[in-house]
Amino acid sequence: MKVRSSMTAPGQERFESFPLTEIQYAYWVGRGPNFVLGNVAPHAYFELEGRRLDPEVLSRAWRRLVERHDMLRAVVGPDGRQQVLRSVPRFEVRCTDVRSASAKDRERALLDTRRRCPTGCTRPPTGRCSTCG
């Protein structure tokens, strides 16, 4: 097994598949239907609020972060091995602008979004959640 120095950028070998760590394996197995509390993929959902929040600036910053850090482009294959993708689809932050909405309409929009993205979101390793994007 090759040990990479954190001080040097890895070469082309970084795009070859490699084994999961023990905790990654536990998450991978847990997303399957074999356990009572399984069939759920690790996922995250964020709500940001701000008067000067610029979705394009945030999207651009997120894309730069993903471009810079290989593991943000990693996927796990059906064989249980992970691989860093050379490139991924262009990411855009979704924004629902409710600044001019009434308090009631704002709350309804937030509740609708939260309802569409349940905590039980499941998806294939390289896909997107069908309910929340």
Residue extents of the structural domains in the chain: 12-116
- Average per-residue pLDDT for the chain: 81
Going by C-beta distance under 8 Å and a sequence separation of 6 or more, which residues neighbour residue 106?
A: 98
pLDDT at 61: 96
Phi, psi of 40 (to 5 degrees): -130, 125
Interval 70-91: pLDDT, tens? 999 999 999 999 999 999 999 9
Q: Say yes or no to pLDDT of 20 above 90.
A: yes
In CATH, the number for domain 12-116 is 3.30.559.10
Interval 26-55: pLDDT, tens? 988 888 888 887 777 777 777 888 878 889
C-alpha span between 12 and 39 (Å, rounded) = 34
